[in-house]
Amino acid sequence: MTNTEQTNRLGVNLTERRALEAGLIFREQPVSDFGIDAQFELKDDSDATGRLIAVQIKAGPSQFENRAEKGFWYYISTKHKDQWLNHSLPVIIVLCDLDSDTCYYEIVTNETCRPTRQKWKVFVPKGNILDGSSLPDLSAIASPIVAASDFTICSEQDLSHAGAKRISLDIVAHARGKSLNKPLLGAIIRETLRIGRESQYSRDEIAARALAGRAVDVVWGYIYLREVDRVSASWVCRFQWISNSLPEDFRPLDLQGEEDGSGLVIDWNGNAELAKLMDEHRVTKATFLKATDELLGWLPAIEIELAKFLQSVEQSEATPKLEAMALAFENAWDGLLVPPLECQRLNQAIQELLATVGNVGLVFGQRKTRGENPTKSLMRSYQSELSRLKGDISFLRHDVR
């Protein structure tokens, strides 16, 4: 082992110790063209959450040669910048000071990457130390939580043969309510992969008998942004997972793309495609604020109907408009709108508002099965949340004038 390899190994070991001490799950990754050395996974108590961060680890004195008063400059090539920004997981750089046993980190984003004459540089602050105190920051960085409403499995097919149980999925991702980006799509892929691996579906009785009790060996999937895109096969990404225990004779041809070491490979339909889609939907501040004002114009009517429902003596008196109005409110917002940077906080508040109104409609539609008192209790909490969000949005709306 060369000195460089020894230094890198010490850096990986130090990062693993610090990650475990911070309460993270640490998984070292195999050699990858994307330059990812490991993954962090957040835990909830002792349970894994599926929320991941890709980690590039660098160690040794040479990584700290470009010092500044409050941190360190780390230089990267254009190739690595593009790969990390197009990764399905958020990527952080970890610089390991082996002398002090300290790990410093920073996320790689368009905002943290600054151009130089020939390369790019990322500023890694001295305050970003990997330890227990960094968990809130890392939680904000990690891949998003995926809800059932974030995607629809439109087709599940059993393509098994005698040597392998194989499942194929067609998935439509719903951008409404969340920012469209690769970490979100990556999180949807991992969640639908879990569903595919647990599938009990068989195409007929013969297949069910032949593969009874057998775990799924292969899962394919295609991610679309709209239902209509399935007709033209205009997928934004596809993925393949192959069990490591599947004999070589029964393995399908390997998909080429981003690997995560677990058997999952993601093939983006041209790295520029998603960026192009987002650029097409990126709007000016004036356009975004106009859309915000138009959306808020729908809210008073919903609040009135919600108040009527809460004041009704029995559910039979509940206004039938509320569920339809909540759905219309969600549909009134173009989920593919990409806001300018200065409207990001406002956009986040709007997404919370959309989710809350969506919950109002969902719970109202379930009122007969939930019961009157539990339904009204939830609705009162949503009413309070709507009031809070209106105040937040009003402040943020004024703040970006």
> Which H helix or E strand runs over 303?
helix 299-311
> What separation in angstroms does the CA of 197 have from each of 165, 167, 204, 206, 248?
10, 8, 18, 20, 19
pTM above 0.85, yes or no: no
In sequence order, what are the residues at sequence separation of 6 or more whose Cβ sits closer than 8 angstroms to the Cβ of residue 237? Answer: 185, 189, 222, 223, 266, 267, 268, 269, 274
Distance from C-alpha of 19 to C-alpha of 242, rounded to nearest angstrom: 28
Nearest to 349 by CA among 364, 361, 360, 333: 333
Burial of 173 (0-12, 13-18, 19+ CB in 10 A): buried
Q: What is the DSSP letter of 323?
A: H
Distance from C-alpha of 281 to C-alpha of 288, rounded to nearest angstrom: 11
Please state the φ and ψ torsions of residue 55, each to the nearest 5 degrees. -130, 125
> What separation in angstroms does the CA of 1 have from each of 8, 12, 40, 48, 57?
11, 15, 26, 34, 18
pLDDT of residue 13: 95
Print pLDDT tens along the chain (401 aa): 788 889 989 999 999 999 999 999 999 986 655 678 999 999 887 788 889 999 999 999 989 988 888 999 999 998 888 888 888 899 999 999 999 999 999 999 888 999 988 889 999 999 999 998 999 899 988 988 888 888 999 999 998 876 788 999 999 888 655 666 788 889 999 999 999 999 988 888 877 887 778 899 999 999 988 777 787 777 888 999 999 888 887 888 888 888 877 789 998 865 445 555 656 667 788 888 898 999 899 899 999 999 988 888 665 555 678 888 888 887 787 666 777 767 878 887 887 888 788 888 888 888 888 888 888 888 898 899 899 888 888 888 887 76
Distance from C-alpha of 33 to C-alpha of 36, rounded to nearest angstrom: 8
